[in-house]
Chain A
Amino acid sequence: MSTNQQPVFIALQANNDTLPIIEAIQSDNPLAVVHEYPAMVKIDAPGRLVIKRTSIEERIGRAFDLREIQINLISLSGELDETEDEITLQWRDIP
């Protein structure tokens, strides 16, 4: 895992769809800081932020395709990698 601690973030619309997603992110990323703005939630984390499908599914009680996040996504920062199970935002190690 990268040791680069530069900040990454994801911003989501503040709505009923994203409440369980934000909860899942908070629980999987103890260092994440949630900022609430009008209509928008911005979640900052040092170095790395992960969104796990199973954590969201536990909260919503149904199967969840991570690509559904596209609908409520506002912005992000960091290098993104998406698989069926996780979306990861992180910066690579500084060489």
Chain B
Amino acid sequence: MSNPQSPPKKLTLKENYALLTRGLGWEPSYEAQDDIFPMVKFEGIKIHDWEKWEDPFRLTMDAYWKYQGEKERKLYAIIDAFQQNNGQFNVSDARYLQALKVFITGVTGLEYASHRGFNILGREFPGVGPRIAAQMQSIDELRHAQTQIHALSHYNKYFAGMSEFPHMFDRTWYLSIPKSFFEDAVTSGPFEFITAISFAFEYVLTNLVFMPWMSGAAYNGDMSTVSFGFSAQSDEARHMTLGIEVIKFLLEQDPANVPIVQGWIDKWFWRGYRLLTLLAAMMDYMLPKRVMAWKEAWEIYFEQNGGALFADLARYGIRMPKYWEVTVKEKSHVSHQLWCIFYQFRHAAGFPVWLPSEEEMTWLSAQYPDTFDKYYRPRYEHWRELERQGKPFVNATLPQLCQTCQWPLLFTEPDDPTQICYRETTYRGDKFHFCSDGCKDIFCDAPEKYVHAHLPVHQIYQGTYFNAGVNPGAPDFNPLVEALKYMGINPGVDGGDFATHVDAINWTRWTNKPANMHEPGAQGLGAAPKDKVG
């Protein structure tokens, strides 16, 4: 039977996307628009025409499910092969595994928080285009959390310190930094959230997480992690285009939006940059085989790439984020400064810590010719000598935390690397402390928000960081040991010195390879001061 009609013309990408996103929204008849979308005005952002929003990829639902399905099949084929071939024993050495602990406890929770945040946006934006983009991103972020948990669950069968990751994300002192970052974003308005996450974090900063670091995971033999990393990043590329579209859309809709958006760029660039200090230490210290130093990555992905972006945005009156010059001054310092903190507080970390080997210090001094030998090598050599003498240094005093970013006050003055940077302000009679001018400014712009910050050290001193049933009046009560238990850290087991850690010992037992490829035979040396724990 012949069909008298010619087959329907295939729609172009543009037509397809237009049909998905135009004219599909409901025009309310018996409810006021402002009652349906109550969050969209209070930030002061003015939107005149939501139809101007366009996803440059013009992704439609059929294509979304098709390609996401293919990504998943590809990822799980690799994860299966990795598990079937005991891939967990083929990574460079057992120090690399410690970076995975930071990832599962510190990053995966962000993916889930992001899923929640974009779900909220999918409800709160009146425009159809951004609602669909937010819904897709919400599903993406949930996929990232799930695939990360799934891939790393295999490591959890063999190695310590991963099983309590959601609990640790909520309570561990150094994980309050990523947690508070996202909770700050999700408790702001919808436009601030999308500027913070889609633009400042995804477009300007996440390349650093997923490009040099994931490439480093591949270089260290971890095909499982690199696969979930790159699979996630293929979604991030779409999120980044959304991020730049968000900014252009907001800036083009009304000139009154420009100063508001600039304020958010300033704030969230600094918040994101401080958060990435964790990544700086992971790149420079936790990859036994290294691909790129933090400094070089910052130059490529922020100074060069971000520079091109802000040159483009200058047409709207947008300038580089406030304090970007400070990040350039700090790029040769932050990874070393954080690793020194982890070393001093290794008894309170969820992973064991080590001093860089001679070979690694040679690499660090080549990557950081102006700073490493001058400021950091002597410190490591001193600590190494104390270990040799059997009296390793441990810092038993709880650190002062920054009220905004929640890092210990570990950063130095931008122009004096020998002086810790302290800032403070007084609000309603209470003093608040900060690690930098950037963090202090953020507090001073919204003090009512940040006075509520839940700071682990303060909570310990206030006596709220203990498990139920613990009796602080008991004669053998040890507040630091009890606080660690509350954080999900098993005192004397999860943290401490790498050389005597259960992962290092099991690694050599199971693989006959050194747990530290640069210091074969080091297991058992530099014994952890177990009696000093807590």
Contacts and interface: CB of A to CB of B under 8 A. Distances in A.
Nearest to B234: A73
A94 B214 CA distance: 34
A77 B243 CA distance: 11
A67 B305 CA distance: 24
B63 interface: yes
B468 interface: no
Contacts of B308: 6-8, 77-78, 91
Nearest to B56: A80
B240 A75 contact: yes
A71 B307 contact: no
Interface stretch (B95-103, B215-223, B347-355): B215-223
Interface string B202-231: 000001001110111011000000100010
Contacts of A7: 304-305, 308
Interface in A1-56: 4, 6-9, 11, 13, 37-40, 42
A13 B12 CA distance: 28
Interface stretch (B150-158, B309-317, B429-437): B309-317
Interface residues of A, number: 33
Nearest to A67: B63
B74 A71 contact: yes
B215 A37 contact: yes
Contact of A39 (B14, B207, B226, B238): B226
A4 B314 CA distance: 13
Nearest to B314: A94
B217 to A, nearest CB: 8
A74 B291 contact: no
A92 B314 CA distance: 11
B211 A40 contact: yes
A81 B12 CA distance: 14
Given A40-B215, A42-B211, A74 B233 contact: yes
A11 to B, nearest CB: 6
Classify chain B's interface size: 35 or more
A52 to B, nearest CB: 15
Contact of B56 (A71, A74, A82): A82
Contacts of A91: 308, 311-312
Contact of B13 (A13, A73, A82): A82
Contacts of B90: none
Interface in A72-88: 72-84
A82 B314 CA distance: 24
A83 B386 CA distance: 63
B315 A75 contact: no
B244 A79 contact: yes
B211 A74 contact: yes
A95 interface: yes
B513 interface: no
A38 B234 contact: no
Contact of B312 (A81, A84, A92): A92
Contact of B207 (A37, A70, A75): A75
A9 B315 contact: no
Contact of A79 (B56, B234, B305): B56
B67 interface: yes
B67 A75 contact: no
B56 A94 contact: no
B291 A75 contact: no
A72 B304 contact: no
Contacts of A75: 207, 210-211, 233, 236-237, 240
Given A6-B308, A8-B308, A42-B211, A71 B70 contact: yes
Interface string B43-77: 00000000000001111000100010011001000
Contacts of B291: 37-38
B207 to A, nearest CB: 5
B238 A40 contact: no
B230 A40 contact: yes
Contacts of B207: 75, 77
Contacts of A11: 211
B20 to A, nearest CB: 14
Contact of B216 (A38, A68, A72, A82): A38
Contacts of A84: 12-13
B234 A39 contact: no
A67 B71 CA distance: 12
B218 A38 contact: yes
Contact of A77 (B238, B292, B309): B309
7 pairs of A and B residues whose beta carbons are closest in the complex: A39-B218, A6-B308, A38-B219, A38-B218, A80-B56, A37-B215, A70-B67
24 contacts: A37-B211, A37-B291, A38-B218, A38-B291, A39-B215, A39-B219, A70-B57, A70-B234, A70-B237, A71-B234, A73-B233, A73-B237, A74-B230, A74-B234, A74-B237, A76-B241, A77-B207, A77-B305, A79-B56, A79-B244, A79-B312, A81-B56, A83-B14, A91-B311
Given A37-B292, A67-B59, A82-B57, 4 more contacts: A13-B230, A37-B212, A75-B233, A91-B312
